[in-house]
Structure 1
Amino acid sequence: MPPLRLERHLFLMRSQNPLFSHGDAQLFLAWRDGRVVGRISAQYDEHYDEPGTGMFGFLELEDAPDIVPGLLEAAASWLRAQGRSRMVGPMDFTMNDEVGVMLEGFERMPFVRQPWHPPYYAARCEEAGLEKAVDLLMYELVISDRSKILPVVFKLAERVQPRHGITIRRMSRRSLRRDLDRFAEVYNEAWSENWGFVPYGKRDLDVYAQEMQLVFDRNWYMVAETESGETAAVAITVPDINQVLVKMQGRVLPFGWLHYLRKKWIIDRVRVGFLGVKHAYQHTGVAAALYVEHFDTASRTPQKWGEMGWILESNKNMNRAMEAMGGRVVRRFRVYERVL
Structure 2
Amino acid sequence: MSSDTQARTRPSLAGPISVRPLETAADRKAFLDIPYTAYGHLADWRAPLRFEREAQINPAKNPALARMEHVLMVARRGSDVVGRIAAFINPAHLETHKDATGHFGFLDTVAPDDDVIGALMQAAEDWLRSRGMKRIAGPFNFSVNEECGLLVDGFDSPPVMMMPHGRPDYAPALEARQYAKAMDMYAYMCQLGEPYRVPEKIRKLKEAFDQDPGLEVRMMNPQDYKGEIDLILGIFDDAWSRNWGFVPFGKDEITHMANELKPLIRRDGLWIGLIDGEPACFTLVLPNLNEATEGLDGRLLPFGWVQLVRRLKLQGTRTARLPLAGMRQKFHKTRRGMLTMVASCEAAFAAQHARGVREVEASWILETNRDLHNLVSIYDAPRYKTYRIYGKAL
Alignment-mate amino acid for residue 58 of structure 2: M
Q: Which residue of 2 aligns with 1:104?
A: 153
Paired residue secondary structure (1:135): strand
Confirm or deny: 8 A CA contact 1:248 1:257 kept in the other structure.
no
Q: Which residue of 2 aligns with 1:14?
A: 59
Q: Which residue of 2 aligns with 1:154?
A: 203
C-alpha distance 113-73 of structure 1, shift in aligned 2 (>3 A): same
Q: Which residue of 1 aligns with 2:215?
A: 166
The CA distance in 2 between the partners of 1:279 and 1:158, in whole Å, is 24
1:315 corresponds to 2:369: yes
**RMSD between aligned residues:** 1.7
**Alignment: residue pair count:** 338
Q: Which residue of 2 aligns with 1:60?
A: 108
Q: Which residue of 2 aligns with 1:143?
A: 192
Note the C-alpha offset of 1:258: 0.7
The CA distance in 2 between the partners of 1:104 and 1:164, in whole Å, is 44
Higher alpha-carbon Rg: 2
Note the C-alpha offset of 1:122: 1.4
Q: Which string of whole-angstrom CA distances, capped at 9 and with x for unpartnered residues, describes residues 177-218 of structure 1?
A: 111111121111111111111111211111101111132222
The within-5 A match list for 1:198-213 is 198-213=247-262
Alignment-mate amino acid for residue 190 of structure 1: A
Q: Which residue of 1 aligns with 2:137?
A: 88
The CA distance in 2 between the partners of 1:281 and 1:116, in whole Å, is 35
Note the C-alpha offset of 1:266: 4.5
The CA distance in 1 between the partners of 2:119 and 2:363, in whole Å, is 32
The CA distance in 1 between the partners of 2:291 and 2:321, in whole Å, is 12
Confirm or deny: 8 A CA contact 1:173 1:216 kept in the other structure.
no
Moved more, 302-311 or 212-221: 212-221
The CA distance in 1 between the partners of 2:316 and 2:306, in whole Å, is 12
C-alpha distance 298-237 of structure 1, shift in aligned 2 (>3 A): closer
Out of 238, 259, 264, the residue aligned to residue 286 of structure 2 is 238
C-alpha distance 278-164 of structure 1, shift in aligned 2 (>3 A): farther
C-alpha distance 82-293 of structure 1, shift in aligned 2 (>3 A): same
Which structure has more RCO (C-alpha within 8 Å, separation ≥ 6)? Answer: 1
The CA distance in 2 between the partners of 1:287 and 1:158, in whole Å, is 13
Alignment-mate amino acid for residue 243 of structure 1: E
Confirm or deny: 8 A CA contact 1:277 1:286 kept in the other structure.
no
The CA distance in 2 between the partners of 1:94 and 1:194, in whole Å, is 14
The CA distance in 2 between the partners of 1:32 and 1:325, in whole Å, is 49
The CA distance in 2 between the partners of 1:281 and 1:328, in whole Å, is 27
Confirm or deny: 8 A CA contact 1:144 1:296 kept in the other structure.
no
Q: Which residue of 2 aligns with 1:192?
A: 241
Q: Which residue of 1 aligns with 2:319?
A: 269
C-alpha distance 159-257 of structure 1, shift in aligned 2 (>3 A): same
Alignment-mate amino acid for residue 243 of structure 2: N
Q: TM-score, normalised by structure 2?
A: 0.82
Alignment-mate amino acid for residue 60 of structure 1: D
Moved over 6 A (4+): none
Note the C-alpha offset of 1:280: 2.3
Confirm or deny: 8 A CA contact 2:136 2:392 kept in the other structure.
yes
Confirm or deny: 8 A CA contact 2:58 2:65 kept in the other structure.
no
Note the C-alpha offset of 1:76: 1.3
Q: Which residue of 2 aligns with 1:300?
A: 354
C-alpha distance 70-299 of structure 1, shift in aligned 2 (>3 A): closer
C-alpha distance 73-108 of structure 1, shift in aligned 2 (>3 A): same
C-alpha distance 107-266 of structure 1, shift in aligned 2 (>3 A): farther
Confirm or deny: 8 A CA contact 1:18 1:204 kept in the other structure.
yes
Out of 145, 162, 179, the residue aligned to residue 130 of structure 1 is 179
The CA distance in 1 between the partners of 2:295 and 2:276, in whole Å, is 45
1:70 corresponds to 2:115: no
Alignment-mate amino acid for residue 250 of structure 2: G
Paired residue secondary structure (1:246): coil
1:115 corresponds to 2:142: no
Q: TM-score, normalised by structure 1?
A: 0.94
C-alpha distance 155-246 of structure 1, shift in aligned 2 (>3 A): same
The CA distance in 2 between the partners of 1:21 and 1:40, in whole Å, is 18
Q: Which residue of 1 aligns with 2:97?
A: 50
Confirm or deny: 8 A CA contact 1:43 1:55 kept in the other structure.
yes
Note the C-alpha offset of 1:21: 4.5
Note the C-alpha offset of 1:227: 4.8
C-alpha distance 299-68 of structure 1, shift in aligned 2 (>3 A): closer
1:326 corresponds to 2:380: yes
Uncovered stretches (5+) of structure 2, i.e. residues with no partner: 1-45
Q: Which residue of 2 aligns with 1:219?
A: 268
The within-5 A match list for 1:274-285 is 274-282=324-332, 283=334, 284=336, 285=339
Moved more, 82-91 or 152-161: 152-161
Q: Which residue of 2 aligns with 1:26?
A: 71
Confirm or deny: 8 A CA contact 2:316 2:355 kept in the other structure.
no
Confirm or deny: 8 A CA contact 1:249 1:256 kept in the other structure.
no
The CA distance in 1 between the partners of 2:393 and 2:246, in whole Å, is 19
C-alpha distance 299-19 of structure 1, shift in aligned 2 (>3 A): closer
Identity %: 28
C-alpha distance 291-167 of structure 1, shift in aligned 2 (>3 A): same
Confirm or deny: 8 A CA contact 2:269 2:352 kept in the other structure.
no
Confirm or deny: 8 A CA contact 1:140 1:328 kept in the other structure.
yes
Moved more, 192-201 or 275-284: 275-284
